[in-house]
Structures are given as structure tokens and as C-alpha cells.
Amino acid sequence: MTTGRLNLPQRLCAALALAWIVPGIAVTVSATGLSLGNRDQTFVIAFTGTSLLLGASFWLWWRLIQWTFSRVLGSAATTAAVLAHLFLWQPLWNAGCVTVDVLRMGQCGVATGVWVGVTAYVWWGLIEAGSQWRKSSMSANAVRIVWGLALVPFVPGLWTIVMLALEQFVWRVDWVNGMIAHALCASLIVGWWLFVWRPAARRTAEVWQRTLAWSAGYVAIVTLCPLLLLLNDPDWMVALWVCVPLMLTGLWLVLTAWMWRIGETPLTPVSADVQETLKCLSCGYSLIGLHEARCPDCGRQSTLDELFGELLAAAREV
């Protein structure tokens, strides 16, 4: 099956699968003892994972991008920046032998997450609700999902950098450093997710209040998890203070989506949506009030089924 036969939901499922497949392949390749010159095994993991992610991303999405010179240039610039960081493989500061390897891996995660977010912006631009956006085969909500996936490598990388920086430059109190790093990352996840989805979520004030209350509770619980390090049995507490926030993050995403589902408005376009959607497919000029489907601005003649398809896209966007 070629990428040209994949529909948008299939591509999104494949992008989500990359979050699991890429780290697994990278660690497996490193375990084989593969050597890349005089580089260590952490570089092998980073190089394999980054190369797979970049290559698979271009393979998945290139058919849904309206390639222009600026998009080609932007894609090349962001990819070159990530590869330059990878091949230079320099830490942000001088650290011990073991710490420097962990720091480099954290930097790689942050760089990869930034690449995913920036290239999504370069490829599809701002998320807008009008017809100008829907000329693309990519839907606005699909781009939001891709932007959400940028958190997968970015947040662990940021957490690693913050923990190491606090330990080396501030204090060596693990539970305090953990609370700071946990609070920062949890707040980033909540803020980014709500920022990305806020324009698309037609929710009541009550639902948004519940969402914010639940999000504040999530951040608070995650922030308190490092207090488990104060207990006397570190063997399993060390695992819990890292793993519990991961599970809570998944729970927060599921319950947030469930709350939005409960409070959502009907998916059929209302009059305000028609005002926003019934526009020229070429230039975005409003066609409300006209006696024919010909744009007075650019002259494009649209068929009724094209315009009706736009109304359906407004209601059923992926």
C-alpha cells in the first residue's frame, strides 16, 4: 500500500504509532552494538530515532502539503537545524560522563519536539476555520493532533534538562527538583493542549470551568508525586514518582476529551458557521447574499456540490 492510498485517519494512526515504534527500533539498534565511528551508544539511539522520525514524517505527510518555495525552504531549515544539533552532539553545559549522555538525550528530545511543531506550522500554517484553510487536504483538527504529538519527545527532554540543571546549579535535593520539573512539564502539557484546541472547542462555560478545575488538580497531583521519595523504600518509590505522572497525563487527556464530549454543541453548522464557511474556495470572499456561486472578487465559478461539501467539512472535520 502506498502513502497515496492512505486517508487522513490512517496517516494520523501511523503518526501515533511512530511514538512507540521509533524508540523501540532505536534502542534495539543500539543493543546490537552498532558503531558509528567513535560515537557512543547514546548517539546511536539518538541518530537512529531522529532519522526514522524525520524520514517517516516526510513519507507520511508530503502528499498533504501544498509545496511552495517558502515551505521547502522552511522544511529544509528546520531539518538542517535538528541534524546539526545531532551531529555536533554537544551538551548545553559541562557535566559528568554519565550526566552528559543523559543531558544530550534530553536535548535531542527537545529538538525533535520543536521540529515536529515548527514543521507542522511551516507545512500547514495557521489553523483557520474558513474556506481558505480547507483548500488543503489536511484538516485543522488533524494539525492540532500533530501539534499535540510534538509533546511526546519534547516533554521528557525538557524534564531531563530541568532536573539536571537544578541538580548541578541550584541544589541536590531530589524531591524538590522533582516537584519543580513535574510542575513545569505538567503545566506545559495543559497550557499547550488547551491553547491548541481552544479555537475548535465549542463548549459551554460550565464545561470549561470543569476542564480548568480538573487541569489544576492534575497539575497539583503530579507536582506532589516526588514527595514519594521521602518514604523509606526507595526501590519502588523511585519508579512511582516517575511513572504515576505518566499515567495521570494519559488519564487527564482521556477525561478532558470526555468532558468536552459531554458538553459539545451539535456538529451541524449553525447560522454563524455558515457565515464563516460559505466563502469562495479560491480567495475566501464571502458568498452570502449572492444570487449565483460566482465570486465577484476573483471570478471563480463554484458548483453547488463544492459549496455544500464545504458546509459538511465544517461540521465533520476530522
Query: Within this chain, do residues 179 and 149 fall inside the same structural domain, yes or no?
Result: no
Task: Identify the bridge partners of residue 203 per DSSP, sorted by sequence position.
Answer: 264
pTM of the model: 0.79
**Per-residue model confidence as pLDDT tens for the chain (318 residues):** 444 478 888 899 999 999 999 999 998 988 887 777 777 888 999 999 999 999 999 999 998 888 889 999 999 999 999 999 999 999 999 877 778 999 999 999 999 999 999 999 999 875 444 444 444 567 788 889 999 999 999 999 999 999 999 999 988 888 899 999 999 999 999 999 999 988 776 667 888 889 999 999 999 999 999 988 887 766 677 778 888 999 999 999 999 988 887 555 444 444 444 445 566 666 566 677 666 777 766 667 777 767 666 656 655 544
Q: Report if residue 163 sits inside a domain.
A: no
Query: Within this chain, do residues 258 and 275 fall inside the same structural domain, yes or no?
Result: no
Closest CA to 200 of 252, 147, 123: 147
How far is the CA of 192 from the CAs of 75, 186, 197, in angstroms?
23, 10, 9
- Dist. CA 10–CA 217, nearest whole Å: 34
Length of the chain: 318
Q: The domain containing residue 200 runs over which residues?
A: 171-265
Helix 140-149, helix 8-31: angle, nearest 10: 20
Q: Is 210 helix (H, G, I), strand (E, B) or coil?
A: helix
- Dist. CA 285–CA 249, nearest whole Å: 42
Q: Report if residue 159 sits inside a domain.
A: no
Query: Within this chain, do residues 37 and 182 fall inside the same structural domain, yes or no?
Result: no
Query: Within this chain, do residues 4 and 106 fall inside the same structural domain, yes or no?
Result: yes
Q: Report if residue 161 sits inside a domain.
A: no
Q: Report if residue 253 sits inside a domain.
A: yes
Q: Cell numbers 463554484 label which residue?
A: 302
Query: Within this chain, do residues 234 and 99 fall inside the same structural domain, yes or no?
Result: no
Total structural domains within the chain: 3
